[in-house]
Amino acid sequence: MSDISASALRGAVDLSSLRNRPATPANPESAPADVRDPVQGGFVVDVTDATFGQILELSRTVPVVVDLWAEWCGPCKQLSPILEKVVTELGGRIVLAKVDVDANPQLAQSFRAQSIPMVVALIAGQPVPMFTGAVPEEQVRQVFDQLLQVAAQNGVTGSVGGDQQQAADADEEPQEPPLPPLHAEAFAAIEQGDFAAAISAYEKALAENPRDEDARAGLGQVRLLDRVQGLDLQEARAAAAADPRDIQAQFAVADLDISGGHVDDAFGRLLDLFAVLPSEERVPVRERLVELFGLIGADDPRVAAARNRLSSLLF
Query: Active-site residue among 18, 44, 56, 73?
Result: 73
User: In whole numbers, what is the pLDDT of the chain averaged over residues?
Assistant: 81
The parent domain of residue 277 ranges over 181-314
- Kindly state whether residue 88 falls inside one of the protein's structural domains: yes
- Kindly state whether residue 175 falls inside one of the protein's structural domains: no
Domain end, chosen from 115, 139, 169, is at: 169
Nearest CA-CA partner of 133 in 75, 190, 77, 72: 75
Higher pLDDT, 174 or 185: 185
- Domain with residue 219: its CATH number is 1.25.40
Give the confidence band of 208 by pLDDT, cuts at 50, 70, 90.
very high
Say yes or no: 158 and 188 in one domain: no
Give the confidence band of 132 by pLDDT, cuts at 50, 70, 90.
confident
Say yes or no: 51 and 87 in one domain: yes
Say yes or no: 155 and 195 in one domain: no
Query: Active-site residue among 76, 96, 108, 122?
Result: 76
Say yes or no: 165 and 187 in one domain: no
Say yes or no: 127 and 29 in one domain: yes
Say yes or no: 124 and 21 in one domain: yes
The DSSP-derived string for 242-304 is H-TT-HHHHHHHHHHHHHTT-HHHHHHHHHHHHHHS-GGG-HHHHHHHHHHHHHH-TT-HHHH
Q: Is 249 a catalytic residue?
A: no
Q: Is the pLDDT of residue 295 over 80?
A: yes
- Domain with residue 12: its CATH number is 3.40.30.10
Q: State percent of the chain over pLDDT 90.
A: 41
- For the chain, the domain total comes to 2
Domain end, chosen from 169, 190, 205, is at: 169
Most confident of 51-65, 157-171, 240-254, 292-306: 240-254
Give the confidence band of 36 by pLDDT, cuts at 50, 70, 90.
very low
Say yes or no: 192 and 132 in one domain: no
- Kindly state whether residue 176 falls inside one of the protein's structural domains: no
- Kindly state whether residue 214 falls inside one of the protein's structural domains: yes
Say yes or no: 237 and 277 in one domain: yes
E runs forming strands in the chain: 44-46, 64-69, 95-100, 118-123, 126-132
Say yes or no: 27 and 164 in one domain: yes
Say yes or no: 164 and 231 in one domain: no
Least confident of 28-42, 135-149, 192-206, 246-260: 28-42
Contact (CB, 8 A) for 48 and 103: yes
Most confident of 6-10, 114-118, 151-155, 199-203: 199-203
Say yes or no: 81 and 29 in one domain: yes
Looking at residue 261, what is its pLDDT?
81
- DSSP, collapsed to helix, strand or coil, labels residue 221 as helix
- Kindly state whether residue 174 falls inside one of the protein's structural domains: no
Looking at residue 170, what is its pLDDT?
47
Quick: pLDDT tens for 296-315. 888 889 999 999 999 999 87
- Kindly state whether residue 1 falls inside one of the protein's structural domains: no
Domain end, chosen from 169, 190, 218, is at: 169
Say yes or no: 62 and 137 in one domain: yes
Looking at residue 86, what is its pLDDT?
92
Higher pLDDT, 173 or 46: 46
Q: Is 73 a catalytic residue?
A: yes
- Kindly state whether residue 259 falls inside one of the protein's structural domains: yes
DSSP type of residue 8:
G
Looking at residue 42, what is its pLDDT?
66
Give the confidence band of 176 by pLDDT, cuts at 50, 70, 90.
low
Looking at residue 172, what is its pLDDT?
53
pTM of the model: 0.48
